[in-house]
Amino acid sequence: MTVPLTLLGLLEREPSHGYDLKRDYDTLFGRGKPLPFGQVYSTLARLARDGKVTAAETEPGAGPDRKRYVITEQGVTEVAAWLAEPVAPEPHLQTVLFAKVVLALMSGRSAEHYLDLQRAAHLQRMRELTELKRHGNTIDALLADHGLFHLEADLRWIELTGARLDALAGEVRW
């Protein structure tokens, strides 16, 4: 997730205070990993420095004065270009899962044991996501589906790799 572009996208909808941007980001995109306030304000400062947002007049509030941020034309152009660009398909060919299997085999450790542990971890995460999907809203369900589909693909890979461990071991042991 690219925080600067996401914040710009939220600002394109309407001018906002940093607190409101954090709340909206966390609600829509920060599931399990909320955005720290310091990151919001440092990102807004960089966006302002780069001419992508401006800080409107400060407004008094119950606490410190608050700045309302407004996206500039340059910021709108950047968001439009980002939204029009497809995300690079994942996963990459070199993954941590693959590296651990190969290194286990190379060192004489049990890659099968590692795959069993990884399978159990994936299944546990799938149960968690299924529960979220069952009890959450549409956003939760869509995010859970995305995660579940990736985990299913990983599980298929784990099974296939387990079936090919002997052949792989022959290729990676020096």
For 40-70, how does the pLDDT look when each residue is reduced to its tens digit (9 = 90+)?
999 999 999 999 999 987 766 665 668 899 9
Q: What is the mean pLDDT of the chain?
A: 89
- pLDDT tens for 124-164 read 999 999 999 999 999 999 999 999 999 999 999 999 999 99
- Is pLDDT of 122 > 80? yes
Q: So what's the pLDDT on residue 41?
A: 94
Q: So what's the pLDDT on residue 30?
A: 83
The two beta strands, 66-71 and 16-17, are: antiparallel
SS3 for 81-94 is HHHHCCCCCCCCCC
How much is the pTM? 0.70
**DSSP bridge pairs for 158:** none
